[in-house]
Amino acid sequence: MQHLFLASRNPHKAREFAAMLKAEFAVEDLREHPEIAEVIEVGATFAENARLKAVAISRQLPGLVLSDDSGLEVDSLGGEPGVFSARYSGENATDEMNRRKLLDQKAQLAPGASRAARFRSVLALARDGEVLAVFEGTLEGRIIRTERGEGGFGYDSLFQPDGLAKTLAELSPKEKNAISHRAAAVAQFRSFLETADLRD
């Protein structure tokens, strides 16, 4: 089993990655490394932020580092909250505050405004300060008017994937991990590993 550092302190993300990669990797996230400073996400895109974090962390920790930047894009809001998904209502925003702002923003639009949205995840794999590869996954769906479900995190209780009657928050972790934007990006990561030579 290969060791993999996850460039995140988000416990929800860490659990999802551990569940999806446990057969191949021992995943360790940054909660085990309080000495490492937070990487400021100044990129204009998910890919830029993922690269920034992967490079910065891989310069401080040995071996492979996987960084994820992900969020929600709502078409009728011009792609918001996008890269600001985690801090949509401010730097110290909670998931609840962000969901409330999203609903408030949607309520200001015309009644027939599109509810189409997607979750996007971009992964960057790095070692020794160099990006080895970038992977991207999306999950298309729609924003519902009221929250449903107790599971998940972030905007999951407001997002209903295309083709499903449930929100992400109403799915089991196993069900969510089978269809999510992050799962799609991880599938590309796995395919890359099958052909890449990552020996030091």
Residues 156 and 152: their CA atoms lie apart, in Å, by 6
Which of 115, 93, 123, 96 is CA-nearest to residue 191? 123
Whose tokens are 């995943």? That residue is 27
Active site residue 68: no
Q: Which listed residue (68, 69, 95, 197) is catalytic? A: 69
**E strand or H helix at 6:** strand 2-6
Residues 86 and 102: their CA atoms lie apart, in Å, by 12
Q: CB neighbours of 160 closer than 8 A, spacing ≥ 6?
A: 141, 142, 143, 144, 166, 167, 168
Residues 121 and 139: their CA atoms lie apart, in Å, by 9
**Active centre residues (catalytic):** 69
